[in-house]
Structure 1
Amino acid sequence: MGRKYQIVNDEYFYFLTFTTVYWLDIFSREIYSQILIDSLRYCQREKGLKIGAFCVMPSHVHFIWGCQEQGTLSGIIRDFKKYTSNRILKEIQLHPQERRREWLLWMRERAAKKNSRNKNYQFWQQHNHPIELNTNDKIDSRLHYIHNNPVEAGLVYEATAWKYSSASAYAGRESLLDLIYLT
């Protein structure tokens, strides 16, 4: 991986996207989105994660993330992805109303067989494509992209209407997470 897409300076915030394998719509279910939010709260409280923005889409999540200590953002990413992967897969296996259970598990098992890093199941795609946000123009561009993603996807008419997004917080309304405002 080239230096362009690595976390090299924890002084800056980074734009990150985590995508489920095969772009499967996992976060169309409230229970799985809530697992993400709970994990983010934990990372803020216990690991020093700073969240500048977020948007949970049905098959992927966008973030602007930073951290309080040098050298820890990559570790937070690793731990967050590992925990959410295991927790959501466990919920899929145990949830009695998940009609897609067998298919979802089969797809994740199929993805794991193609990746030597996984034993049984793979939930997230491997790459994060971190982009260092070291200028105001980059911050503004990514913030706009994140908040308008549900609108562009045709899920809502205005960004502040999407529940699992920081757009409402930037508009002065309540948010699901504590945010560091970037503008």
Structure 2
Amino acid sequence: MSEKYKFVDGEGIYHVTLTIVHWIDLFTRKEYVFDVLESLRFCQANKGLKIHAWVIMPSHLHMIVSSRDVPLSDIMRDFKKYTNKKIIESIQSTNESRKKWLLNAFSKAALPLKRINGFKVWMDGNHPILLDNNFMMEQRVNYIHNNPVEAGMVMESYHYTFSSAVDYAGQKGLLGIDFIE
């Protein structure tokens, strides 16, 4: 098995990407975004997750993260497991026009896997990339914050609500962040 995309440095800072199965545009509804934000806040408060930069795009989430207490691999596993369940509950209880289609897609994604019973929202893995120098960190922060601009969603990165770009522009965003120094 490849060591290329694993958490190898317990004290390192990583760029991670978590993607919805089939690249489904799930995060076009704020309810599901808030499920993710709630879980990230929990991980920050209870698991020692440090979030240095983040953006939630329609089908994926980018973050620059580190941890002071719990291994990042454990945090990411628990985060995905919890949000998988929470998002399914939200789909089932929300007036979701794509409810049947979404549940069917997430159910089919889980079928070939013995370890998953019911629904699979997230693709396997989180593609961790160790950021071991300032150039890489700055490059990834810019990449994350410019994602909505490149997608044509906003003209300026700090105008995108579901991102830490607003924090880096001197305002207060939706998640507390630990600035990279």
TM over 0.5: yes
**Counterpart position of 1:78:** 77
Stretch deviating more after TM superposition (35-44 or 111-120): 111-120
- Cα RMSD after superposing both structures: 1.1
How far apart are 1:111 and its partner, in Å? 0.8
Matches within 5 A, 1:103-122: 103-122=101-120
SS at match of 1:178: coil
Q: 1:148 aligns with which of 142, 146, 149?
A: 146
**CA distance in 1: counterparts of 2:112 and 2:20, whole angstroms:** 15
Tell me the alpha carbon deviations over residues 75-106 of structure 1, each in whole angstroms, 9 at most, x when there is no partner. Answer: 110110000110000110121x1011000000
**Counterpart position of 1:88:** 87
How far apart are 1:116 and its partner, in Å? 3.4
Matches within 5 A, 1:13-162: 13-69=13-69, 72-95=71-94, 97-162=95-160
Which runs of 5 or more structure 2 residues have no equivalent in the other structure? none
1:116 partner amino acid? K
Tell me the alpha carbon deviations over residues 107-150 of structure 1, each in whole angstroms, 9 at most, x when there is no partner. Answer: 01111123333222110000211000111111011111100000
Q: Percent identity?
A: 44
Runs of at least 4 residues off by over 6 Å:
none
**CA distance in 1: counterparts of 2:127 and 2:172, whole angstroms:** 29
> Could you state the TM-score of these two structures normalised by the residue count of structure 2?
0.96
> Could you state the TM-score of these two structures normalised by the residue count of structure 1?
0.95
How far apart are 1:177 and its partner, in Å? 1.2
**CA distance in 2: counterparts of 1:119 and 1:34, whole angstroms:** 24
2:76 partner amino acid? I
2:90 partner amino acid? E
Stretch deviating more after TM superposition (1-10 or 60-69): 1-10
1:56 partner amino acid? I
**Counterpart position of 1:180:** 178
Which runs of 5 or more structure 1 residues have no equivalent in the other structure? none
How far apart are 1:72 and its partner, in Å? 1.5
Tell me the alpha carbon deviations over residues 47-97 of structure 1, each in whole angstroms, 9 at most, x when there is no partner. Answer: 10000000000110000010012x5211110110000110000110121x1
SS at match of 2:26: coil
1:137 partner amino acid? F
1:77 partner amino acid? M
* Aligned residues between the structures: 181
**CA distance in 2: counterparts of 1:114 and 1:65, whole angstroms:** 31
